[in-house]
Amino acid sequence: MATTTRKKKTARKASTSGRVSAETLAKGQREISVSEFFAKNRHLLGFDNPRKALLTAVKEAVDNALDACEEAGILPEIHVRLLQKDESRFKLTIRDNGPGIVRAQIESIFGKLLYGSKFHRMKMSRGQQGIGISAAGMYGLMTTGKPVHIVSKTSRRKPPHDVVLKIDTSKNRAEVVKEKEDPKSDSLFPGGTGTQVVIELEGRYQKGRQSIDEYLEQTAIANPHAQITWITPTNETIEFPRAVDELPDEAKEIKPHPKGIELGTLIQMLERTESKSLSAFLQDEFSRVGQRKASELAKMADKLSSKTITPRSRVSQLGHAEAECLYKAIQEASIMAPPTDCLVPIGSRALLAGLLKEVQAEFFAAATRPPTVYRGNPFQMEVAIAFGGNLSSEESSRILRFANRVPLLYQQSACSSFKAVTETSWKNYGLTQPRNSLPVGPLVVLVHMASVWVPFTSESKEAIADYDEIRKEMKLALQECGRKLGTYLRRRKQMKKQSERRGIFERYIGEISTSCHAIVGTDPKKLYEALLKQATRKTREADQKLDLDGKIVSAKRLEQDDDVIILEERQVTMQEDGDEGLFDNDVVTTTKRKTRKKSKKKKKKTS
């Protein structure tokens, strides 16, 4: 009690006598560097606990490696190695065969937060904000005091440069500790170019859900063109072999769409543009604005403005009021939707192949929606589902989430895709679903969003923000897959019912024919055969043509669908050891899968 009174007294004293002047406050006011901010708020970047920190570091480096290889047109070959130094300290090495990084850029890329090549452009890529790899290095430095070690080779003819650097958080700048040109490291890059990053950091390694293993497995599903080698702390080598020998089509960069721009941004663009006239500005800075559309926008803005606005108006002469009129004109005008060839979906076939490889189910379906737009940003949704087989039928179904081919492992319930799955009525497709929850049953749902700008809910890029347009597209794709599943399940149920009926018929036909023989002397064999023929015909007819609602189910419809795969009687293969795979005990990892006997599988691929 005594302490509380004392506290109160001091508080009162401070508020009456110890007034702080604005000048005193001013002495404490200073700029905060971004790296200081994120060092304190490392959870915002995905470094909230030692296990997640390891995953985040791997993810940032692998995403960068994949981005760099694809941009350079190189089929990615990535090595990830995690060496345990003591209980909570690890040495992470990630190497790629990408284009490498020129010496002059190394400091900024690895030693400066918010520095990158992807933020200012509108192009589909894994990284976007320029925080990833430098943040991983910073986390390593904060937790172990060890600098980041980079080896990069940009040309076959030049030796690799080898740089050791620290990030000075107060200045958000790199401090080079050591550097040299090192021909000895040539052997790291047999392809002639590439980058290797080594970070020492605090962490905890554990397999299972949300692990590095899971991240790499899912990365392999969404990036079948990549070859990934993973050496675990227990010195186990896991290979994720390349499944397709072609790079995905190159994603094109686009300009912003006028409808996706806010007033403040428009004003800034007007201030910064190098174009002289309004017409040139509109055509140069935006997509889908040609000369005619620019004149139309100028004319519409002119009607709303007190000052005259023409296509030839000088941009420098346009004030705030005119910018606002132009903004209104843009909102009112009808402008063609942005080009969508900038998006590269994974594609139904590749998605199905990826799921087929990783999930032991019996029914697979995929749907790719046409591209569309949120806030002026083109995006495209893809969904694939796997059902039955070895998946558990008692648990909630599982969602595999991807954004621009990157698996998202945390913050599931904050993600738009989670909402889309729970809002879909899976009961319509024959599954049970508790209210506002995921459906229960042997179901895996894969959702992929491809976009020039994925709206993540935070800097750690774990969940997709819940825009109505995005959720709607997700739901449409889910429904498309759901309908196919529903058809399949109805058919399966009907088939089961008919085979039971046939069994009953067969049981009694024998009885009937012997009884008839005893009573009226008919030939029992003849009668038996005639009745059997009838029974088979009756049950077969019902089998193939009617579903439970009495609607006609055409088996051909599912079987001719390119986006559906039905496997009959999948072999239950037990895992060879106790490792947890992507789907607990149901699945064996890719490498192990390779050694499994294939012959037992009776596979019917219907396309």
Residues near ligand ADP (CB under 6 A)? 60, 64-65, 68, 96, 98-99, 101, 109, 116-118, 127-134, 195
The item of Mg ion, ligand ADP, none sharing an interface with residue 417, based on CB under 5 to 8 Å by kind, is none
Rg (CA), the chain: 31
Residue among 131, 163, 13 nearest 63 (CA): 131
The item of Mg ion, ligand ADP, none sharing an interface with residue 68, based on CB under 5 to 8 Å by kind, is ligand ADP
Q: Could you tell me which residues are beta bridge partners of residue 271? A: none
Contact indicator for 289, 330 with CB cutoff of 8 Å: no
Minimum distance of Mg ion from residue 465's CB (angstroms)? 19
| Sign of the Cα pseudo-torsion (277, 280, 283, 286, in order) | negative
Contact indicator for 75, 247 with CB cutoff of 8 Å: yes
Contact residues for Mg ion, defined by CB under 5 A: 64, 127, 132
Which residue is associated with the tokens 């895992």? 575
The item of Mg ion, ligand ADP, none sharing an interface with residue 354, based on CB under 5 to 8 Å by kind, is none
Contact indicator for 344, 548 with CB cutoff of 8 Å: no
Report the alpha-carbon distance of residue 82 to residue 54 in Å, rounded.
9
Which string of DSSP letters, residue by residue, matches 235-277?
A: --EEEE----SSPPPPPPPBPPPGGG--HHHHHHHHHH----B
Minimum distance of ligand ADP from residue 284's CB (angstroms)? 24
Minimum distance of Mg ion from residue 55's CB (angstroms)? 14
Structure tokens at 54: 């390891």
Minimum distance of ligand ADP from residue 465's CB (angstroms)? 17
Q: Which is nearer to ligand ADP, 65 or 391 (by Cβ)?
A: 65
Please give the order of strands across the beta sheet that includes 148-153.
173-181, 161-168, 148-153, 194-202, 89-96, 77-86, 227-231, 237-240
Q: Which is nearer to ligand ADP, 195 or 433 (by Cβ)?
A: 195
Query: 208: Cβ–Cβ under 8 A, 6 or more apart, which residues?
Result: 214, 580
Structure tokens at 562: 């390119």
Q: Which is nearer to ligand ADP, 193 or 232 (by Cβ)?
A: 193
The item of ligand ADP, Mg ion, none sharing an interface with residue 225, based on CB under 5 to 8 Å by kind, is none
Q: Which is nearer to ligand ADP, 34 or 280 (by Cβ)?
A: 34
Q: Which is nearer to ligand ADP, 96 or 296 (by Cβ)?
A: 96
Minimum distance of Mg ion from residue 94's CB (angstroms)? 12
Which residue's Cβ has the minimum distance to ligand ADP? 127
Minimum distance of ligand ADP from residue 153's CB (angstroms)? 11
Chain centre to alpha carbon of residue 604: 30
Is residue 110 packed enough to be buried (19+ CB in 10 Å), middle (13-18) or exposed (0-12)? buried
Q: Which is nearer to ligand ADP, 138 or 282 (by Cβ)?
A: 138
Minimum distance of ligand ADP from residue 109's CB (angstroms)? 4
* Angle at CA of residue 463, ends 369 and 219, nearest 5°: 70
Report the alpha-carbon distance of residue 133 to residue 137 in Å, rounded.
6
Q: Which is nearer to ligand ADP, 127 or 441 (by Cβ)?
A: 127
The item of Mg ion, ligand ADP, none sharing an interface with residue 195, based on CB under 5 to 8 Å by kind, is ligand ADP
The item of ligand ADP, Mg ion, none sharing an interface with residue 98, based on CB under 5 to 8 Å by kind, is ligand ADP
Q: Which is nearer to ligand ADP, 385 or 406 (by Cβ)?
A: 406
Minimum distance of Mg ion from residue 42's CB (angstroms)? 16
Contact indicator for 153, 142 with CB cutoff of 8 Å: no
Which string of DSSP letters, residue by residue, matches 425-470?
A: -GGGGT-B--TTSPPBSSEEEEEEEEESS--BSSTT--SB---HHH
Minimum distance of Mg ion from residue 131's CB (angstroms)? 8
The item of Mg ion, ligand ADP, none sharing an interface with residue 232, based on CB under 5 to 8 Å by kind, is none
Q: Could you tell me which residues are beta bridge partners of residue 564? A: 365
Q: Tell me how crowded residue 133 is: count the other CB atoms within 10 A of its CB.
A: 26
Q: Which is nearer to ligand ADP, 175 or 423 (by Cβ)?
A: 175
Q: Which is nearer to Mg ion, 114 or 280 (by Cβ)?
A: 114
Query: 189: Cβ–Cβ under 8 A, 6 or more apart, which residues?
Result: 97, 100, 153, 160
DSSP structure class, residue 397: P
Q: Which is nearer to ligand ADP, 132 or 354 (by Cβ)?
A: 132
Q: Which is nearer to Mg ion, 66 or 270 (by Cβ)?
A: 66
Minimum distance of Mg ion from residue 246's CB (angstroms)? 24
| Sign of the Cα pseudo-torsion (401, 405, 407, 408, in order) | negative
Minimum distance of ligand ADP from residue 117's CB (angstroms)? 4
Residue among 564, 373, 342, 384 nearest 473 (CA): 373
The item of Mg ion, ligand ADP, none sharing an interface with residue 128, based on CB under 5 to 8 Å by kind, is ligand ADP
Minimum distance of Mg ion from residue 190's CB (angstroms)? 24
Query: 172: Cβ–Cβ under 8 A, 6 or more apart, which residues?
Result: 33, 34, 35, 36, 112, 113, 114
